Amino acid sequence: MLKTNTPTVQPLPRARRRFVFLTLFLFFVIAVPIFVFYATGYRYDFAGDGAITTTGGLYITVGGGEGDVYLNETAVRDMRVFRNAIYIQNIVPGMQRVHVQAEGLHTWVKDLPVYPYIVTEAESFALPVVPQVRPIAQFTNASGTLVFPAVASGTKLFEGVSSTVTFVTATSAATSTYTRNPEYDFVVGLFSTSTATSTLLTRVVDGVTTVLTGTNEEDAATTTVGTTTKRLDDLVLSERGEDIFVTYVGPKNSTPYYFCVPKASLASTSALYGNHVMMGVAQAVASENVPAVTDIVTERTCRTEIRIDRQWKTVIDFDFFPSTTDLIVLHREDGVSVVEVDDRAWQNTQMLYPKPIDELVINNGRLYAKDGDMIFELISVLPTD
Specify whether 94 is located in the same domain as 136: no
Region 101-125: what's the mean pLDDT?
90
Q: Burial level of 91, CB count in 10 A (0-12/13-18/19+)?
A: buried
CA distance 323 to 329: 12
Q: Is the dihedral of CA 126, 132, 138, 139 positive or negative?
A: negative
CA distance 78 to 80: 6
pTM of the model: 0.76
Specify whether 72 is located in the same domain as 198: no
Q: Tell me: pLDDT of 71 over 60.
A: yes
Say if residues 332 and 354 touch (Cβ distance below 8 Å): no
Nearest to 101 by CA among 63, 142, 140, 158: 63
Q: What is the CA radius of gyration of the chain?
A: 29
Q: Apex CA 94: angle with CA 271 and CA 248, to 5°?
A: 60
Specify whether 81 is located in the same domain as 225: no
Say if residues 115 and 262 touch (Cβ distance below 8 Å): yes
Burial 38-51 (b: 16+ CB within 10 A, else e): eeebeeeeeeeeee
Q: Of 109, 124, 139, which residue constitutes the final position of a domain? A: 124
- Range of 25's domain? 16-44
CA distance 124 to 112: 12
Say if residues 260 and 294 touch (Cβ distance below 8 Å): no
Specify whether 158 is located in the same domain as 236: yes
pLDDT band for position 341 (50/70/90)? very high
Specify whether 167 is located in the same domain as 35: no
Report the percent of the chain where pLDDT is more than 90.
39
Specify whether 333 is located in the same domain as 362: yes
Specify if 222 maps to a domain.
yes
CA 290 to chain CA centroid, nearest Å: 25
CA distance 121 to 14: 54
Q: Determine the length of the chain.
A: 385
DSSP state of 205: B
Which tens digits make up the pLDDT trace of 122-158? 999 999 999 999 999 999 999 999 999 998 888 888 8
Say if residues 172 and 149 touch (Cβ distance below 8 Å): yes
Q: What is the dihedral of CA 270, 315, 378, 197, to 10 degrees?
A: 120
Q: What's 74's domain CATH number?
A: 2.60.40.10
CA 5 to chain CA centroid, nearest Å: 73
Separation in Å, CA 355 to CA 148, 243, 334: 20, 21, 6
Nearest to 133 by CA among 372, 355, 373: 355
Specify whether 93 is located in the same domain as 151: no
Number of separate domains in the chain: 3
Which tens digits make up the pLDDT trace of 313-325? 999 999 999 989 9
Which tens digits make up the pLDDT trace of 154-205? 888 888 899 999 999 999 999 999 999 999 999 999 987 654 333 444 333 3
Say if residues 101 and 67 touch (Cβ distance below 8 Å): yes
